[in-house]
Amino acid sequence: MTSFMPPADRIWWKVPVGRQEIIWIAIALVWCLILFFMMPYWHIYGKQNLSNEAYQTTPAKFGAKVQAMIDQYKVGEEAGIPIVKPPAGSDVYLLGRLWQWYPILDLEKDKTYRLHLSSMDWQHGFSLQPININIQVVPGYEMVITVTPDQAGEYGIVCNEYCGIGHHTMVGKLYVKE
């Protein structure tokens, strides 16, 4: 009847609000504040936060850093892709390109690394499985994440940003060893 008619009172702003609505609004507001403060709280006390360290870069520049790391720390090869075992605590580089993650990283459990991510061409999605960590990889930007793998195992890196016809073949690998 009246949701599609002009309000019954000319000055509807002054019509008192029912107790039920007031109570609900109060409860909802408190909940919204909790939702909000959980984020800063987690920045201080939580362990899973993205750093906002990032740089503008170019495919050539980033590719050179990846290659330098491979030249120095290559320990093997799998399916034609180098396996690299950089020292604990160091900077490690991973690039996404059509359609592979390159190279394969071999990390030590409970050690902290600075993981640099960038793309050589289109956008890609770094999706570390089965642990399920998902990060957008954008060409022209080098993102640095400080990561401490705390479970040993063999992980897949699925590309979860659509990157053309070979998207589903873009799978990388990452080892975490004791």
Partner 1 sequence: MNETTNQPDEKKERIPAMQSLLDNPFLLLFIGVAMPTVFYLMWGIMEIVTIPVAP
Partner 2 sequence: MAQFRTCPDTGLYFHKSAESLIKANAVVGAVFLLVAGILALLVTLTRWQAIHLLPADQFYMALTAHGIDALIFWIIFFEMAVLYVASSVLLRCRLATPYWGWVQFALMMVGSVMTNVAIFQGGSSVMMTSYVPMQAAPHFYLGLILFAVGALIGCFVFFGTLVVAKDEKTYEGSVPLVTFGAITAAIIAVFTIASGAIILVPTFLWSIGYISHIDAEMYRIIWWGLGHSSQQINVAAHVSIWYLIAGLVFGARPMSEKVSRAAFLLYIFFLQLASAHHILVDPGVSSEWKVFNTSYAMYLAVLASMIHGLTVPGSIEVAQRAKGLTNGMFEWLRKAPWDNPVFSGMFISLITFGFIGGITGVVMGTEQINLIIHNTIYVPAHFHATVVTGTTLAFMAITYFLIPVLFRRQMILPGLAKIQPYLFGGGMSILILFMLGAGTMGVSRRHWDMDFTGAALGFDYPGIAYTMMGIGAFGGVIGVLGGAAFLLVTVGSLLFGKKLEPSAGLLQSFGVPLAASCYSSTKPEILPMAPPLEHHDTTSFEAPGTFVLALLLLVSFVVYYFINWKYLASVWPLS
Q: What is the footprint of Cu ion within residues 30-89 (CB under 5 A)?
A: none
The CA distance from 138 to 123, in Å, is: 5
Part of the chain binding partner 2 (CB under 8 A), chosen from 61-69, 85-93, 153-161:
153-161
Part of the chain binding partner 1 (CB under 8 A), chosen from 52-60, 93-101, 155-163, 169-177:
52-60
Nearer to partner 1, 65 or 167 (CB): 65
Residue 124 interaction partner, one of partner 1, partner 2, Cu ion, none, beta carbon < 5-8 Å per kind: Cu ion
- The residue count of the chain comes to 178
Greatest alpha-carbon pair distance for the chain in Å reads 79
Tell me the pairing of strands 171-177 and 153-159: antiparallel
The CB-based long-range contact list for 65-71 (8 Å cut-off, 24+ gap) reads 65/93, 65/116, 66/93, 66/94, 66/95, 66/102, 66/103, 69/93, 69/103, 70/103
Residue 72 interaction partner, one of Cu ion, partner 1, partner 2, none, beta carbon < 5-8 Å per kind: none
Q: Name which position in 8, 11, 35, 60 contacts partner 1 (CB under 8 A).
A: 11
Kindly give, in sequence order, each residue whose CB lies less than 8 Å from that of residue 169, ignoring residues fewer than 6 positions away.
99
Q: Is 42 in the site for partner 1 (CB under 8 A)?
A: no
Q: Name which position in 5, 44, 60, 178 contacts partner 2 (CB under 8 A).
A: 5
* Interface residue list for partner 1 (CB under 8 A): 10-14, 54-57, 61-62, 141-142
